[in-house]
Structure 1
Amino acid sequence: MVIQLEHVWLNRDGAWILEDINWQVKKGEHWVIFGLNGAGKSALLNLLNAYDFPTKGKVTVLNREFGKTMLGEQLRIKIGLVSSTLQQKFYLSDSAYEIVLSGAFASIGLYETPTDEIRKKAISLLKELNCLEFADRNYETLSQGERQRVLIARALMANPEILILDEPTNGLDFIAREELLETIERISNNENGPTLLYVTHHAEEILPIFENTLLLKKGRVFASGKTSDMISSSALTTFFDRPVEVLWKDQRPLITKVKQKTK
């Protein structure tokens, strides 16, 4: 089991942010975490990364049970995280290459001398993610799509067992979004690659590789299971509390709101 949450509750400043979360992720599975703003997605990610600890319940990530084993950096180095919050922490004057290298040390900025092996791996990942052509450019000169690909390369430097992609297409145009999604699909096909968790509130981004979906609503698990069951007209009509229709094309969903008939 890669992730196991049993009756997990999280209280912050007197308010329950997560309530009675039960969820399991097995090795070899890739999941979408789907929910609207305020659903608890960020709180769940903070929990998985051991930035927060449960108020009640049992959390086990990569065979480490919270409260019984050392966590912190020892766990986080096994979890690659790509998020807009992380993106804002990097030094604008660092090159794309330096940012990818820093992933080997789980640091913001490069303070240690990389070995030749680390340098070779960084170059290999830059090639794989189509970043090599701008490897020497400063981070501040990169487009949003280029930055996201660099951060994915950085996240893969430490051979993570879990790769979390938190709203990775925010701010991207259609072409950049589809290019990034193609990159994610390639990563999923790598032998011995990481378990992927894709966090979004845009159903059209759900790739066929994500066969499982967790629906989060107001800090609770609304439902979880096969994506084809979760991202369906009937399930999402109940989830959104309004009639919607889900259309599938090329194994990807599109949600449209059903217009109410006027009397």
Structure 2
Amino acid sequence: MSDIVLNADKIDLVRARRLLLDRVTMTVLRGEHWALIGPNGAGKSTLLGILGAYVHPTRGTAEILGRRLGRVDVHHLRTLIGQVNPRHPLESARTVREIVLTGVTGTIELVPRWTPTGGDLRRAGELIDLLGLTARADARWPTLSQGERGRTLIARALMPDPPLLLLDEPATGLDLAARERLLASLDRLRTDRPDLTTVLVTHHLEELPVSTSHALLLREGRVLAAGPAGEVLTTGLVSACFDHPITITRHNGRWAATAGPA
């Protein structure tokens, strides 16, 4: 099996005559943990949509888990990708356990007359525990904090045991404590699943887990820099990406950004 999980080669994406992505190239290997970083409107979530097989590039090629977009059944391909969207459109008051179990069927709501197997229930319990939600397993969606919802959705995305996990700004709307619990859960997950590959979108460096291995800086749809996180997340490159003087520091494996020159 190839170690290449994602391979984007000179991707363009045009919508309404606007070039949203411009010759984007990136290669992600198994077990790597990438961060897509850039200002609002840079194209981060658009690129994630291609990597998740929901959007086709206008030009260039995108290969996901060895399958090339345009030559593969995307509905099947999506079942191999765990996707976490903090704007999950759940409308009913389901419990944490029930929501995690919808990861088996790939649906928003529980499928009528569907019954989880004993294995499904055991795996849901293991993931709920891994994400630090055991005490909240029977709590219902409307009563969950934003952080608890985010961790619930990560557990849901992991139910099919996907080799690839995509996270679109998972720390959006979290207070400091909730963010730290989320990031600790991601670090723990990455340790427990060494073959898991992840791509996380953010525009705040403080939202990066310690386990982040690689980063890609995106500005106006173009790749400014990509590679090992320590080489990409520098004062000079991040300042250029955001078109503003920003000082980057790192302490105990975590990054911090401060406006203004060093």
Instruction: Confirm or deny a common fold (TM above 0.5).
Output: yes
Instruction: Give a deviation string over 1:36-76, Cα, whole Å, max 9, x none.
Output: 1101011111111221111111110000011122222x111
Aligned residue number for residue 226 of structure 1 = 228
Aligned residue number for residue 182 of structure 1 = 184
Give the Å deviation of 1:243.
Answer: 2.1
CA distance in 1: counterparts of 2:148 and 2:123, whole angstroms: 19
1:104 aligned counterpart, secondary structure: helix
Mark the CA change 1:192 to 1:235 in structure 2 (over 3 Å): closer, same or farther. closer
Scaled by the length of structure 1, the TM-score of the pair is 0.93
Contact 1:164 1:196 in 2 (8 A): yes
Instruction: Give a deviation string over 1:86-106, Cα, whole Å, max 9, x none.
Output: x2x113311111100010111
Aligned length: 257
2:105 aligned counterpart, secondary structure: coil
Aligned residue number for residue 77 of structure 2 = 75
1:23 aligns to 2:40 (yes or no): no
Give the Å deviation of 1:226.
Answer: 1.5
Q: What are the residue-to-residue correspondences of 1:90-129 with 2, within 5 Å?
A: 90-111=90-111, 112-129=114-131
> Which residue, 41, 64, 74 being the options, matches 1:38?
41
Mark the CA change 1:157 to 1:143 in structure 2 (over 3 Å): closer, same or farther. same
Worse-matched range after superposition: 188-197 or 74-83? 188-197
1:11 aligns to 2:39 (yes or no): no
1:216 aligned counterpart, secondary structure: strand
Mark the CA change 1:189 to 1:259 in structure 2 (over 3 Å): closer, same or farther. closer
Q: Which amino acid aligns with 2:184?
A: E
Unaligned runs of 5+ in 1: none
Instruction: Give a deviation string over 1:9-55, Cα, whole Å, max 9, x none.
Output: 11112211111111100112111111111010111111112211111
Q: Which amino acid aligns with 1:122?
A: A
Instruction: Give a deviation string over 1:207-255, Cα, whole Å, max 9, x none.
Output: 3311210111111111101111211112222222232211221122211
Q: What are the residue-to-residue correspondences of 1:147-226 with 2, within 5 Å?
A: 147-226=149-228
Give the Å deviation of 1:161.
Answer: 0.8
Q: Which amino acid aligns with 1:90?
A: L
Contact 2:38 2:242 in 1 (8 A): no
CA distance in 1: counterparts of 2:119 and 2:194, whole angstroms: 19
CA distance in 2: counterparts of 1:14 and 1:224, whole angstroms: 27
Contact 1:229 1:235 in 2 (8 A): no
Contact 1:64 1:71 in 2 (8 A): no
Contact 1:100 1:153 in 2 (8 A): yes
Q: Which amino acid aligns with 2:212?
A: F
Scaled by the length of structure 2, the TM-score of the pair is 0.94
CA distance in 2: counterparts of 1:184 and 1:141, whole angstroms: 23
Q: Percent identity?
A: 38
CA distance in 2: counterparts of 1:94 and 1:236, whole angstroms: 41
Give the Å deviation of 1:193.
Answer: 4.3
